[in-house]
Amino acid sequence: MLSKHRSHKLWLRLMALMAIVLVVSACAGPATQTTTEMEAPAAEMEDADGEMMDEQIFRATIPFFAQDWSPLRGGGWNMHYLAFWNAGPMYIDEHGALHPYVFNEWTPNEDMTVWTFKIDPDAVYSDGSSITAHDVVATWNLIAHPATTHQRVTLFLTGVAGFEDVFNGEAMEMPGVVALDDSTVEVTLEGPDPLFHKKIATNLIGPVKASVAIGEDGFEVAEWWHPKNNPVTSGPFMPESIDLNRGVVTFVKNPNFWLAEPKLDTVTVTSIEDTTIVTTMLANGELDQGWPPNDATSQQLLGSDFFECSVAPGIGGFFLNPNIEPTNDINFRKALVLAVDREQIFNLSSPDGRGWTPTGEPLRALPGQDPDFVPHPYDPEAAQEAMAASAYSDAADVPKMIMAGVSSPGTELLAQYMAEQWRQLFGIEAIEMSPQFDSYEGPSQPALFRDGAGVRVPDSALMLLGSLHSSSNLARNIMGGYADPEVDALIEEAVTKAADDPDRVALSRQAQRLFHEQWMIIPIGTGCGGSAKGNVMPWVHGTRRNADAQFLEPWTIYIEHVEE
Amino acid sequence: MGQYILRRIIYWIPALLLLAMVVYALAFFGAGDPIKLMFLREEGDVTYDAQRLDAIRREKGLDRPFLMQFGEYVWHLVRGDLGMSVISGRSVNDMIAATAPVSFQIGIATVILVALIGIPLGILAGLHHNQWIDNTILGSALFISGIPSYVVGPMLMVFLVLGLGVMNVPYGWDGLFSRKAILPMFVMVFGSIAIIIRQTRAGVLEVLSEDYVRTARAKGVPEIMVILRHMLRPVLTPVVTVLGQMLIGIVNGAIIVEKVFGIPGLGRLTIDFTYGVDYPVIVAITLIGAFLVMALNLAVDITYPFLDPRAGQAMTGIED
Amino acid sequence: MTTQELSATSGIELAQASRSNLWQDALARLAANRLAVIGIIPIVLLFFVALFGPTLTPYDFLAQDFTARLDSPSREHWLGTDELGRDVFSRILYGARTAVSVGLVSTAISLVVGLIMGSLAGYLGGRVDILVVWLTDVTRSMPALLLAIVINLTLKVPLEAWMEQLYLETKNTFFRQTMWVDLVLVFGALALIQWPGYARLIRGQILSIRSRNYVLAARALGMPTSRILTRYVIPNAMGPLIVAVSAGLGGAMVLESAFSFLGVGVQLPIPSWGKMISDGLRMWQTHPHLLAGPAVMMAVITVSFAWLGDGLNDALNPRQWK
């Protein structure tokens, strides 16, 4: 009886404890939410659905739980929105034309090894202070350094005197970047580069205010970009609140933006990983922009215009590794390539038939596109002949091949399609499909690797430098250390030619031809550089995107609901 | 008793440390390189090479030997600091402090709802063993539990938002008592209730055959009194244990519901930072889970003798 | 003391005398349980299909037909075709093999480990008990996803490299069955996640049973530990264990599908219901047949296992033998 009594009390206590924990945690919950103010205008929008609103809100979303909103990373999904809050040196529009931004003047010296840039006297940060040459120098030194983990800095600053030392963490400053006065930056290159000014025309290396972002030790201040630390930015908008746990970031108008007054009042970027949620929210008018998969369901709900695409340079595909078995055999590579029908690849990638059949030409859609380029055909018989001529005429001798980078439902389909062709034609069954992008060495080195490369400046030589040259990520990592001395020499010569020198294109085409004859890639994709207007709903106007994956002139974007 | 509890709690310290080391080592040696993954998870023309990765590792102190890094971690841990996230550079303490309350709210609310709905249904089913009520309750509960929550969640949402148009997408989290919480809570309860119904039903069936219940029934004691006085306690003892385990499971890993509905809880941290192999975050989440598991076991072991006197003798057996 | 002895001996005799009838009674009770009987049918079918599935399928589960992409169910393709024009019905049948393998093997592994650990803990007590309880706690507090990812990343590469090596030496195609590597890894992860549940269950049962009067009496009478275990403890713990196993079989399949949804699972292009469900989920609004087939299958099978388990529990529950 006694024990029963005690247990009763215990029960009561346990229940009371649970109730207390519930109350406490319920109270603690709202306290951690700092963005309730942001929800209010959103609700207002929904109430007056379909009407032109005074409050202009652009609600964007990324399919990734972004934790790092520093403008100095040069990568990550959130970098698609960098143009909203960070001004670059210059920018290139969707037609390839160069526009001034922070820099409004650029002049090279005679032999194209020293470039002088002038900062627009009107260019100011969100706190009203001028953008100075010292900020530019400090920012570029900072992003070159490994501690800042900028993901693409080599694309922009390679060739600057002293870049390598900083890049490898052996120095803190590049002697090649100097502030001549408050508004003049002088860049000394190790060799001639006629297109250096276009290379730096990107938001990914826009200057940040050194006194705010850089500590006394010369490194980036942790979370200086977070609104709680009163950051200073240079773009048309500035961060108002960042809730990393909920994945919601809110930007508001930068009152001091020098070029124009932004039409939008607020920009929100929400992390939503589940694609069904994104599609549903877009269809329900709760989002204005997002990256849903381009499939039948999304097209039905969002309208096919949502995925409107424009031709964009770049190359994508399954790249073959010429340095491991069995893909080191050129006949084997030839057999694999010939066995795949590019038309079917296109049908699988583009359910609405938008886009272009992939050709595997790196210079496609660039001024240097080769009119004589003949894509590899789909020819099962020739494929079987090539296989018979290879060292692997007996399918049982083929070592297992790993297809890496099979990371999305779309690429899973393509990989399975290709594997099935090879199984039917050659009897090859030992293929492993791995979502990983890892393991470039050892027993799990992939024979085929799905990836791609684009180019920010519409230029043939730069495109090849970033995709076929042995220093590029594609050659070094994706193609398992592809290094063709002839190709390298042609590209290295081409990049030194002036932009309008016909040799620049001619040399590039020659390099491309050599590469093409080596059967190195099974091209995939639709030739679209993503959506031209950035996957926005019909009521969003003025969105344009460039090859830098940035929204162009985001101050021109506005929302207008049109009654149907 | 007090001494016993103290001793159990002292046992936790080496357990937690060893667990931290095992998980840290698993992530460190087995799961990949967070710096490399940082670049690999990025599509397109990222540029890096082994030298650059080494340089970044050096800058972040990740090139040091395992024991040194782990030692540093433990040194911070002892002083209540869970370290800094490798990927985001944020303080793990802040991340946990912001997300754990949300997970607790969801966990406790789910457990209460499941108990309130599941236990009566289980008793009802047990009392009508093999009759249509039993078959209906058990059959539908089990059928519901057979549908994965990642199917139920999105389908219900699309149906309610686009099909019926009765609500907006309940994405995000405005606290437990907001409209956004209804659908995720429904999916959570939906997925967990069958366990409780079955457990309760099985308990009732067992108790029904006990002599004292038969006697009470034979004596003509009203059925409701029999249930309240004689059956509830023995039936609920294992049920409460299961509820506790359920709570831990939800707090520590409502990964799918948190991912689908964008709830800023521990589950969402788990999935993102596990894929990114962020050691400090993974270890922190594991330690929270371990702490909860141990606390629950202690609570169960302490209360067990009161609830089931027979097991008390066995308990004393453990203690010596 | 004497009365207790007496009652104990009579209890033992009673138990022995009625043993043969008990199983028959249990069977009769099971047959009376309508849900359990209904549940048996899909399970028998599932195992049949898992064994003979590949020979029963109307199409090769890998064969692609680009003229019939995303077809709705028709006479040619009973459950329609997927995005690559593969027959969904054939893939579901083949997927049954994956599901059964995952369920059976992972449950078997975790059950064996759980049985050993649980009995040791429950019967020996003391330090062993503390150690086992501690191990279960530690295992349970690790995030399941982390375990699965780590196992996938650490064991997979060396295991596959070793098998490929063996293949190139022997040319025995068995070593090319990478599906088994994946299955073993998924099983390993699932078994690691599940054994503590079984261990704790067994331990709890033993603790409760060994304090019952007839076991105490048998001990007092000097019956060896092993006989007490096999004669009283294990049979008595059977009911709850069978329920747990039947739930575990279904649970393992559901867990495998959740892993597939999160991106850690059986490798393409081997069909797994989990992968088919998570793929079908993308397009269910326009092509519901892609989701409906595997999802309904999964639900039916897990429910059948659970119904059967509950039926077995009722039938075998020793407390109801009186």
* Neighbours, chain A (3 or more CB pairs < 8 A): B, C
CB C194 within 8 A of CB C110: yes
A441 phi, psi to nearest 5 deg: -135, 175
What is the CATH class of A84-213?
Answer: alpha beta
Q: What is the CATH T-level fold of the domain A8-63+236-301+530-545+552-559, as seen in this structure?
A: D-Maltodextrin-Binding Protein; domain 2 (3.40.190)
Contact with chain C for residue A423, Cβ under 8 A:
yes
The reply to whether residue A273 touches residue B262, judged by beta carbons under 8 angstroms, is yes
| pLDDT averaged over every residue in chain B | 80
Q: From A416, which residue of chain C is nearest by alpha-carbon distance?
A: C269
Give the per-residue pLDDT at A176.
Answer: 94
**Residue C63 is encoded by which pair of tokens?**
């064969």
**CATH entry, B98-275, from 3.60.21.10, 1.10.3720.10, 3.30.70.260, 3.40.50.12160:** 1.10.3720.10
The reply to whether residue A6 touches residue B306, judged by beta carbons under 8 angstroms, is yes
Give the per-residue pLDDT at B48.
Answer: 67
State how far residue B92 is from chain C, nearest Cα, in angstroms.
17
From the CB of residue A31, how many other CB atoms can be counted at a distance below 10 Å? 10
The reply to whether residue A245 touches residue B169, judged by beta carbons under 8 angstroms, is no
| Distance from C-alpha of C241 to C-alpha of C223, rounded to nearest angstrom | 25
CB A511 within 8 A of CB A494: yes
For C168, which of A293, A399, A409 is closest by C-beta distance?
A399
The reply to whether residue A223 touches residue B90, judged by beta carbons under 8 angstroms, is yes
Contact with chain A for residue B172, Cβ under 8 A:
yes
Higher pLDDT, B32 or A394: A394
Give the per-residue pLDDT at A309.
Answer: 80
- Best probe of the C interface among B214, B274, B307, by most C CBs < 10 A, is B274
Prediction pTM value: 0.83
Contact with chain A for residue C178, Cβ under 8 A:
yes
From the CB of residue A484, how many other CB atoms can be counted at a distance below 10 Å? 19
pLDDT tens-place string over residues B143-178: 777 777 888 888 888 888 888 888 888 888 887 788
Contact with chain A for residue B85, Cβ under 8 A:
yes
Contact with chain A for residue B40, Cβ under 8 A:
yes
For A67, which of B35, B90, B172 is closest by C-beta distance?
B90
Q: Where along chain B do its domains lie?
A: 2-92, 98-275
Q: Where along chain A do its domains lie?
A: 8-63+236-301+530-545+552-559, 84-213, 314-523
Higher pLDDT, A397 or A173: A173
pLDDT tens-place string over residues A10-44: 445 555 555 554 454 444 433 333 333 334 344 44
Give the per-residue pLDDT at B22.
Answer: 83
Contact with chain A for residue B38, Cβ under 8 A:
yes
Calculate what percentage of chain A has a pLDDT beyond 90: 48
Give the per-residue pLDDT at B301.
Answer: 74
Chain C residues with CB under 8 Å of B23 CB are 142, 146
**Residue B47 is encoded by which pair of tokens?**
């540029």
Q: From B257, which residue of chain A is nearest by alpha-carbon distance?
A: A274
The reply to whether residue A430 touches residue C176, judged by beta carbons under 8 angstroms, is yes
Q: What architecture does CATH give domain A314-523?
A: Roll (3.10)
Which stretch of A6-10, A516-520, C168-172 has the lowest confidence by average pLDDT? A6-10
The reply to whether residue A399 touches residue C164, judged by beta carbons under 8 angstroms, is yes
pLDDT tens-place string over residues C177-197: 666 777 777 778 888 888 888
CB A21 within 8 A of CB B162: no
State how far residue A296 is from chain C, nearest Cα, in angstroms.
7
Q: Quick one: pLDDT band at residue A530, thresholds 50, 70, 90?
A: low
Contact with chain A for residue B212, Cβ under 8 A:
no
Residue C289 has pLDDT above 50, yes or no: yes
Residue A428 has pLDDT above 80, yes or no: yes
| Distance from C-alpha of B178 to C-alpha of B176, rounded to nearest angstrom | 6
- Give residue C132's region: left, alpha or beta (phi > 0; psi -120 to 50): alpha
Contact with chain A for residue B52, Cβ under 8 A:
yes
pLDDT tens-place string over residues A217-231: 888 888 899 999 999
The reply to whether residue B154 touches residue A76, judged by beta carbons under 8 angstroms, is no
Asked if ipTM goes beyond 0.95, one says no
Q: In which residue are the tokens 């506790």 written?
A: B244
pLDDT tens-place string over residues A338-382: 999 999 899 888 877 888 888 889 998 888 899 999 999 999 999
State how far residue C322 is from chain B, nearest Cα, in angstroms.
8
Chain C residues with CB under 8 Å of A413 CB are 83-84
Helices B266-275 and B92-127: crossing angle in degrees, nearest 10, is 120
pLDDT tens-place string over residues C128-157: 888 888 788 777 777 677 677 777 766 776
Calculate what percentage of chain A has a pLDDT beyond 70: 88
Give the per-residue pLDDT at C1.
Answer: 37
Q: What is the DSSP letter of A55?
A: S
The reply to whether residue C282 touches residue A276, judged by beta carbons under 8 angstroms, is yes
Cis peptide preceding A326, ω within 30 of 0? yes
For C269, which of A419, A439, A442 is closest by C-beta distance?
A419
For B46, which of A33, A36, A152 is closest by C-beta distance?
A152
| Distance from C-alpha of A493 to C-alpha of A503, rounded to nearest angstrom | 9
The reply to whether residue A155 touches residue B47, judged by beta carbons under 8 angstroms, is yes
Q: What is the DSSP letter of A111?
A: T
**CB–CB contacts below 8 A, A to C:** 75
Contact with chain C for residue A415, Cβ under 8 A:
yes
- Best probe of the A interface among C87, C282, C284, by most A CBs < 10 A, is C282
State how far residue C270 is from chain A, nearest Cα, in angstroms.
10
Contacts of A211 (CB under 8 A, 6+ apart): none
Most confident by average pLDDT, A467-476, A514-523, C22-31: A514-523
Spell out where A229-312 has E strands. 237-243, 248-253, 266-271, 309-311
Q: Where along chain C do its domains lie?
A: 3-320
A455 phi, psi to nearest 5 deg: -145, 140
Chain A residues with CB under 8 Å of C90 CB are none
How many H helices and E strands in chain A?
Answer: 18, 19
Give the per-residue pLDDT at C193.
Answer: 81
Radius of gyration of chain A (CA): 27
CB A518 within 8 A of CB A484: yes
CATH 1.25.40.10 fits C3-320, yes or no: no
